[in-house]
Amino acid sequence: MEEYYKKLRLILPRFLMVSISSIIGLLIVHVLVDTFVSISLFTDEVWEFYLPIISTLIPLLIWLYPRLKLLRYKEKFIRKGSGATFIITILFIASAIPSGLVQNYFRATSVRIKRVSSVSDINTTIPSRFYITDTCSLSTSKPSVYSRSYQKDKKQTAVVINLYFVRELCSNPTDSSKNSNSYWLGKEYSITLSNEISNERKQELYSTFYSESSTDFYNIAIKDIKCFERVNNSTLDYYQKAIILSNTYYTTQELIVFKPCYELPNLQSNTNLAWIFLTYGIGLVYILFQLIFPKVKSEKEVQDEALKFTSFKKNTQKFLNLFIPKDSHTVTALILDINILIFIVMIFSGVDVFSPTYRDLISWGANFKPLVIQGEWWRLGTCMFIHAGILHVVANIIGLLIVSELIEPHFSFSQQLLLYICSGVIAAGFSLYWYDNAVCVGASGAIFGYYGAVISLAFTKAYPKAERKKLLQSMLLFIGLNILYGLNGEVDNAAHLGGLASGIVLGGIIYELHIKNKQLSDLS
């Protein structure tokens, strides 16, 4: 019994602290986001599934997993070495499920239906998900529609077509003005067409679908709508595109789109408070039961485990240090952090994690010539922080980490930043000149600027003489393989070449100025 209490003291307090803190912490974040940012920033799925997983798993791995490694299961029950993994899985489930239920409960119970006298009063009230208005009409203008299509799966067995219809909401039909801020009614229609049928048959089915959807949306009667639900960020972009096509200019900051609700929403949560405590309690009881079986490792085993953990901890800390701005690594770490943060926000806003659509990338700031020549020159800078999927992000992170070790010792903070930003913008300019309608994103142009700078430095005394030739050969081989791979048409070779050329020139100039300034400072 004494050994069991020893295991309890080792595991239980830390588990309670980590799990309860994770649940309450995510709830606080949820409240703050809904209050001060946007109630539609993330979908219900993100709040109730993805975020509970992340917010519980990471703290458990950091603060509890090392303690679980001090327990030893009999191989009769658990495969050798997997006891800690088995228990951490149980602890994770016992924490993540209640956390998701808490978010579901808050999401439902915090929702209120706001009543406003007219749609123009919506901005004067506290933001809500649902609204009831006493005075509301649809404008007499023609509905606008945006069409989106994509393959249903990787095997491309079918194509999914979504139609996003919008029509302006106003206090009365004559209030619609092309120069005023406005609110819109939106509705989504969807159809799935098999790729096994002929194109003629697809066109026929699509025409029928479009006609029926258009008729249904046009015949919407305000009197039948019980309340309006604010569209969340995952689909808002598509409705915005429909509004742009309506020949009326509205900024996205002023835009609010609502879906019609023909029944008042059920504001009662599917989750009872008792279920939250019950699921957490069941998990807790199961953990107490599981702690009966393992033994606490001997002092020698603990010491050996401590040595292994120390090594693991050092490697983990070394990896985490890559993302911490410090000394000469400050610029690289900031670039990594910004790119990762932007990608995470994109994903939580509804962008596909593996294959974002071109429209998604454009809305987030991709380099796109038709928009750039219309005055959106800022895209030449923003495009280097936008990525087309998680694999794209990871590839650029690896490429940057490899070359940054060769750059950081020879350039100051401002010089690294200048080299990176200028190379990225020039690379985007090359892409703009070379492609007429391509959507270009990614940090690779700026990273190639770093590689160009290394080539330039290889002809100076920046690197030891014995290493210059091998370094130059490896750089040229890496660049050559990337350019060759880019011939498949999916890679922006123009940006790569532009970044490389700018890096060679800028890297050489900046380094020479750096050496001269250093010599002058030494003399003084």
* Residue whose entry in the numeric block shows the structure tokens 């004067």: 124
Q: Which of 128, 410, 496, 502 is catalytic?
A: 496
Kindly provide the b/e burial profile for residues 38-61, where b requires at least 16 CB atoms within 10 angstroms of the residue's own CB.
ebbbbbeebbbeebbeebbbebbe
Predicted local distance difference test score (pLDDT) of residue 269: 56
- Residue 247 gets the label, from left (phi > 0), alpha (psi -120 to 50) or beta, of left
Task: Specify whether 362 is located in the same domain as 508.
Answer: yes
Task: Specify whether 360 is located in the same domain as 451.
Answer: yes
In a domain, 286, yes or no: yes
Task: Specify whether 8 is located in the same domain as 152.
Answer: no
Q: Which domain holds residue 200?
A: 113-261
In a domain, 317, yes or no: no
Q: Which of 357, 376, 380, 355 is nearest to 367 (CA)?
A: 380
Task: Specify whether 449 is located in the same domain as 503.
Answer: yes
Predicted local distance difference test score (pLDDT) of residue 94: 87
Q: Which of 423, 444, 456, 502 is catalytic?
A: 444
Number of C-beta neighbours around residue 269 at 10 A:
17
Predicted local distance difference test score (pLDDT) of residue 523: 63
How many domains does the chain fold into?
3
Full-prediction pTM beyond 0.85? no
Catalytic-residue membership of 213 = no
Task: Specify whether 348 is located in the same domain as 496.
Answer: yes
Kindly provide the b/e burial profile for residues 64-94, where b requires at least 16 CB atoms within 10 angstroms of the residue's own CB.
bbbebbbbbbeeeebeeeebbebbbeebbeb
Task: Specify whether 106 is located in the same domain as 122.
Answer: no
Catalytic-residue membership of 410 = no
Task: Specify whether 426 is located in the same domain as 480.
Answer: yes
Task: Specify whether 337 is located in the same domain as 303.
Answer: no
pLDDT in tens, the chain (524 residues): 778 888 888 888 889 999 999 999 999 998 888 777 666 667 777 788 888 988 998 898 888 888 787 777 665 444 455 567 778 888 888 899 999 989 888 877 777 788 887 777 776 666 777 888 877 888 877 889 999 887 776 456 788 999 999 998 887 655 555 445 578 899 999 999 998 899 899 999 999 999 999 999 999 988 888 888 888 766 777 887 788 777 654 444 457 889 999 888 766 655 567 888 888 898 888 888 888 877 777 666 656 655 565 666 676 788 888 899 999 999 999 999 999 999 999 888 778 777 787 778 888 999 988 899 999 999 999 999 999 888 889 889 988 998 998 999 999 999 999 999 999 999 999 999 988 878 899 999 999 999 999 999 989 888 888 788 888 888 888 788 777 776 655 678 899 999 999 999 999 999 888 787 777 666 65
Task: Specify whether 219 is located in the same domain as 184.
Answer: yes
Q: What is the CATH number of the domain that holds 499?
A: 1.20.1540.10
Task: Specify whether 119 is located in the same domain as 244.
Answer: yes
Task: Specify whether 304 is located in the same domain as 358.
Answer: no
Task: Specify whether 331 is located in the same domain as 299.
Answer: no
